[in-house]
Amino acid sequence: MHMARLNVAVVGTGAVGEAMLAVLAERHFPVAEIKVLATSRSAGKKVFFAGQEVTVQETTPASFAGVHLALFAGGDASKEFAGEAVRHGAVVIDNSSTFRLDPDVPLVVPEVNPEAVRGHHGIIANPNCSTIQMVVALKPLYDAAGLRRVVVSTYQAISGAGSDAIAELLEQIRAALEGREAQPAVLPQRIAFNLFPHIDVFLPDGSTKEEMKMVNETHKIMGADIPVTATCVRVPVVNGHAEAVNVETEKKLAAAEAREILRRAPGIVIQDDPAAGLYPMPFTASGRDEVFVGRIREDNTVANGLNLWVVADNLRKGAATNAVQIAEVLREYGML
């Protein structure tokens, strides 16, 4: 079936914006015309899309004239311009946290709740990177056996904090190897040969905003008040988030059953042969669009406990790929 080509705007030229351009091209999304928009600081910069050079333009309300699909890469731009894009007739898929918990805005992971896109009023929110990969792994288990409780500890890569944070990690490693002191400027603490349990800001109850995102967004995406508790940790890995996920199911699942359920689930690759040294790692997940799951084993300290190790590329499945997949769902439903 021949689908019309679409005028697409990508707003943001950081790590996620770059990944969005790469994913649109790789997945052969039917782009008629691409616009790359950013702040006045980045205007005039050249980026590449499908082998063609594109000049970055400053975002203004008029930028969205004739745009069918606007992908916002995160940051403050969506607060200012998402409404303008919708007024010009575009569908917005937003990677910032601005609209995620807005009851009028669907929060979508295509493997989990694609139908939710039908309720959009111009804006669809892309969840937080750490939430996306977790719910892709939780959904099949929830459908098969229910979920009583989820405890997650994350090992989150530096790319989640942006391109400047990656540069800071590399500079700090260089400094450490040369015996120099390196002060953190982008991240809250030194990250080279270190890690810290501090992602986003601390809230009055002692949790961080990142930890609460995992709780609240999981409830919204899964459409169920599953008890979730999270500890989110920044680690000195350039790209790819890892998560140790402990679940208690309502119904008993043996590890082998859980492995089979996850193997058949969309968007998941099982890497679970520890004897052969096979388990998910950020290094091997980086550059891939799937969610990798391994170390699936029973937790015998509770009645129906399972442990999983879940890894994904946070710039791709955790951001850019998920956004493009949402656009693909919209096209499939004839909504673009």
pLDDT tens track for 269-316: 999 999 999 999 999 999 999 999 999 999 999 999 999 999 999 999
Active-site positions read 129, 241
Residue 319 has pLDDT above 80, yes or no: yes
Mean pLDDT of 97-115: 98
Residue 17 has pLDDT above 80, yes or no: yes
Q: How far apart are alpha carbons 100 and 270 in whole angstroms?
A: 29
* pLDDT score recorded for residue 1: 44
Q: Residue 189, Cβ neighbours under 10 Å: how many?
A: 11
Mean pLDDT of 51-66: 97
Q: How far apart are alpha carbons 269 and 250 in whole angstroms?
A: 24
Residues 169 and 188 in one domain: yes
Number of domains in the chain: 2
Instruction: Tell me which amino acid residue 110 is.
Output: P
* pLDDT score recorded for residue 3: 67
Query: CATH no. for residue 286?
Result: 3.30.360.10
Query: CATH no. for residue 323?
Result: 3.40.50.720
Query: Whole domain around residue 104: which residue ranges?
Result: 6-127+319-332
Whether residue 94 is contained in a domain is answered as yes
Residues 79 and 223 in one domain: no
Of 32, 94, 33, 88, nearest in space to 60 by CA: 88
Predicted TM-score (pTM) of the model is: 0.97
Whether residue 163 is contained in a domain is answered as yes
Three-state helix/strand/coil letters over the chain: CCCCCEEEEEECCCHHHHHHHHHHHHCCCCEEEEEEEECCCCCCCEEEECCEEEECEECCHHHHCCCCEEEECCCCHHHHHHHHHHHCCCEEEECCCCCCCCCCCCECCCCCCHHHHHHCCCEEECCCHHHHHHHHHHHHHHHHHCEEEEEEEEEECHHHHCHHHHHHHHHHHHHHHCCCCCCCCCCCCCCCCCCECCCCCECCCCCEHHHHHHHHHHHHHHCCCCCEEEEEEECCCCCCEEEEEEEEECCCCCHHHHHHHHHHCCCEEECCEHHHCECCCHHHHCCCCCEEEEEEEEECCCCCEEEEEEEECCCHHHHHHHHHHHHHHHHHCCCC
* pLDDT score recorded for residue 206: 98
Residues 100 and 174 in one domain: no
pLDDT in tens, 124-181: 999 999 999 999 999 999 999 999 999 999 999 999 999 999 999 999 999 999 999 9
Mean pLDDT of 49-75: 96
Whether residue 298 is contained in a domain is answered as yes
Q: How far apart are alpha carbons 82 and 64 in whole angstroms?
A: 10
Residues 144 and 118 in one domain: no
Residues 229 and 102 in one domain: no
Percent of the chain with pLDDT over 70: 99
Residue 245 has pLDDT above 80, yes or no: yes
* pLDDT score recorded for residue 182: 87
Residues 326 and 278 in one domain: no
Q: How far apart are alpha carbons 330 and 109 in whole angstroms?
A: 12
Whether residue 240 is contained in a domain is answered as yes
Residues 90 and 201 in one domain: no
Residues 37 and 180 in one domain: no
Q: Residue 212, Cβ neighbours under 10 Å: how many?
A: 18
Whether residue 105 is contained in a domain is answered as yes
Whether residue 85 is contained in a domain is answered as yes
Residues 169 and 289 in one domain: yes
Residues 221 and 263 in one domain: yes
Residue 2 has pLDDT above 70, yes or no: no
Residues 192 and 302 in one domain: yes
Whether residue 1 is contained in a domain is answered as no
Residue 50 has pLDDT above 90, yes or no: yes
Mean pLDDT of 315-327: 98
Residues 158 and 251 in one domain: yes
Average pLDDT value for the chain? 97
